[in-house]
Amino acid sequence: MAAECRNAGVSSAAQSQTTLLSKLEALQCHFTWDLDPSKTNFLRLSDMLVDIGTEEGNRWLGHIYNLRGFIQYKLGFTEDAQSFFNKAAEAFRQMRKADDGPWLVVNYGNLALLHHHLGDQAESEAYLSKVDALMKKYPSPSQDELHAEIYAEKAWTLMKFSTDIELVSDYFQKAIRMQPDMVEWNTSDIIGLAGFYEDCDTEKEADILEKMRVAKEQDPENLCLAVHYLERRAKKGERVEDEARELADKVLRNPVSSYSGMKVILRVYRKYVSVDEAVDLAEKALEQHPDVRYLKRCAAVTLKWKIILSRDSRPNQSMIDRAISLQEEVISLYPDCSFLTKIDLASIYAKYNHTKAIAEQMYQELLRGDLEPADKQLLYNEYAKYLKRDQQDENKSLKYHMKAAAIPHQSFYRGNSIKVLEQIKNKRRNSMWREIEEFLENLQEP
């Protein structure tokens, strides 16, 4: 009889554990959204989230802390993870001016699963109960739909991981239909679409431009959206110099953040105003905030543009020294994600005869690295450009364009390499054109 009772107890405990696991797996939170890229990408994303900043009034601050907590957990820093999840809850309370609400469902789900993984089942079940209470108090419109707040956070999060921009936009739109007053959801959706469809057909371009115009009317104080809209109009051929300068002044007065629009306004300056003014703007921002690493990165990039685009046969040595010094500082400030900065630094060294050997050495070190396919593709594309531009070795350059194109990952760099190869095939002036033609015919789509 005692043995039967023990067996019944074991069976009941096992059943209870199974029920708990099924409840945890059914939660809507970062742990259940299949957010599992490589450690390298987690580190990059962590740096990107730090650069967004934590200034007061950031409507996405709770979401930022939630994602940072999840990343810290994936990187093995469980105490930091819990700290960020707690900060997320507090940020939501301050932003929404309420002690609870449906915006805490994802946060409590994260905490339930974090405590489960840490072996603290009592605390895990306590947060599960909090999720249940919120879901009853703030139900979704139907059994088949999530709450608007969950759709919005899921969309914002997936946008940082996923290339399925249509799914992200669908989640945002579902959230917006339920709560149309949340203008920041629409703004983020439009900025995400604009970034993904940088090059698109005329009809799609017209659709995005119109969506951006409407979003700007709804969210007139959002400088990041305003700058993206300005860039889009400039691509269409509009003269934007005066408006760009006005926007740049506003960006300078705003709190420093990678969401401020600084990176995009500098790109607008480079393409549609002048590279010199882009350099001056970046340096002015850095003078105002000399310790902000994000602005150092912006200044380093603008100086690289000036050097790479310069046709001056007698380079300004002090400017080159400043550019190299900034690039090296940025590498030290972003130790876990300095890959792009190292390529930028190599491209500066490649510009001048007396430092070409340093550039080649840097490229070779990068080529020997253990890289993700997307990074490898980017590097092959950049190395191919370097080989043609700075080494005048077109055949070797084309070989690396083929290497970039062969990696089945859809990106700007793959598209650029394919474009170069198609031009060679069509002109038939290079001895490799038949080989390239055969390569393109057999090229696999991602």
For the chain, the average pLDDT equals: 91
Q: Is 123 found in the same domain as 20? A: yes
| DSSP 8-state assignment for residue 138 | S
- Residue 200 counted as domain residue: no
Residues 6+ apart with CB under 8 A from 400: 380, 381, 383, 384, 387
- Residue 166 counted as domain residue: no
Q: Is 375 found in the same domain as 328? A: no
- Please tell me the total count of domains within the chain: 3
Let me know: does 331 contact 341? Beta carbons within 8 Å.
yes
- Residue 74 counted as domain residue: yes
Angle at the Cα of 43 from the Cα atoms of 278 and 384, rounded to 5 degrees: 55
- Look at 6-10, 64-68, 112-116, 376-380 and tell me which has the smallest mean pLDDT: 6-10
Considering only CA atoms, which of 431, 369, 426 is closest in space to residue 440?
Answer: 426
Higher pLDDT, 258 or 101: 101
Residue 8 confidence (pLDDT): 44
Residues 6+ apart with CB under 8 A from 366: 339, 342, 343, 346, 379
What's the Cα-to-Cα distance from 191 to each of 51, 153, 181, 426, rounded to whole Å?
A: 18, 15, 18, 36
In this prediction, residues 181-200 reach a mean pLDDT of: 89
Q: Is 415 found in the same domain as 301? A: no
Residue 292 confidence (pLDDT): 94
Q: Is the pLDDT of residue 23 over 80?
A: yes
Question: Can you give the pTM of this predicted structure?
Answer: 0.88
Q: Which of 122, 139, 156 is the last residue of a domain?
A: 139
Residue 41 confidence (pLDDT): 86
Q: List, for residues 210-236, the tens digit of each pLDDT value.
A: 999 999 999 999 999 999 999 999 999
Residue 56 confidence (pLDDT): 61
Q: List, for residues 276-291, the tens digit of each pLDDT value.
A: 999 999 999 999 999 9
Q: Is 134 found in the same domain as 37? A: yes
CB neighbourhood size of 137 (10 A): 10
Q: Is 20 found in the same domain as 135? A: yes
Q: Which helix (H) or strand (E) holds 121?
A: helix 121-137
> Predicted confidence band at 10 (pLDDT cuts at 50, 70, 90)?
very low
| DSSP 8-state assignment for residue 131 | H
Distance, CA of 63 to CA of 154 (rounded, Å):
9
Distance, CA of 57 to CA of 184 (rounded, Å):
12
State both tokens at 362: 């840097």
State both tokens at 305: 């543009």
Neighbouring C-alpha atoms within 13 Å toward the C-beta of 18: 6
- Residue 86 counted as domain residue: yes
- Residue 216 counted as domain residue: no
Residue 12 confidence (pLDDT): 53
- Residue 82 counted as domain residue: yes
Residue 5 confidence (pLDDT): 46
Q: Is 407 found in the same domain as 308? A: no
Q: Is 332 found in the same domain as 395? A: no
| DSSP 8-state assignment for residue 352 | S
Residue 316 confidence (pLDDT): 84
Distance, CA of 230 to CA of 217 (rounded, Å):
14
Q: Is 416 found in the same domain as 301? A: no
Q: Is the pLDDT of residue 331 over 90?
A: yes
Q: Which of 101, 120, 139 is the last residue of a domain?
A: 139
Distance, CA of 35 to CA of 32 (rounded, Å):
8
Q: Which helix (H) or strand (E) holds 330?
A: helix 317-333
Q: Which of 139, 174, 195 is the last residue of a domain?
A: 139
Considering only CA atoms, which of 255, 251, 253 is closest in space to residue 268?
Answer: 251
- Residue 243 counted as domain residue: no
Q: Is 27 found in the same domain as 107? A: yes
Angle at the Cα of 52 from the Cα atoms of 49 and 53, rounded to 5 degrees: 105
Distance, CA of 399 to CA of 391 (rounded, Å):
14
Q: Domain containing 55 — which CATH number?
A: 1.25.40.10
Q: Is 379 found in the same domain as 333? A: no
| DSSP 8-state assignment for residue 445 | P
> Predicted confidence band at 313 (pLDDT cuts at 50, 70, 90)?
low
- CA 55 to chain CA centroid, nearest Å: 19
> Predicted confidence band at 304 (pLDDT cuts at 50, 70, 90)?
very high
Cα-based torsion angle of the residue sequence 169, 170, 174, 179 in order, rounded to the nearest 10 degrees: 10
Let me know: does 408 contact 446? Beta carbons within 8 Å.
yes
Q: List, for residues 417-431, the tens digit of each pLDDT value.
A: 999 999 999 998 899
Let me know: does 343 contact 385? Beta carbons within 8 Å.
no
Residue 13 confidence (pLDDT): 52
* End-to-end CA gap in the chain: 63
> Predicted confidence band at 69 (pLDDT cuts at 50, 70, 90)?
very high
In this prediction, residues 30-38 reach a mean pLDDT of: 89
Q: Is 56 found in the same domain as 123? A: yes
Q: If you count them, how many residues does the chain have?
A: 446
**Structural domain that includes position 40:** 15-139
Q: Is 60 found in the same domain as 99? A: yes
- Residues of the chain above pLDDT 70, percent: 95
Distance, CA of 130 to CA of 85 (rounded, Å):
15
- Residue 95 counted as domain residue: yes
Q: List, for residues 117-134, the tens digit of each pLDDT value.
A: 999 999 999 999 999 999
Q: Is the pLDDT of residue 346 over 50?
A: yes
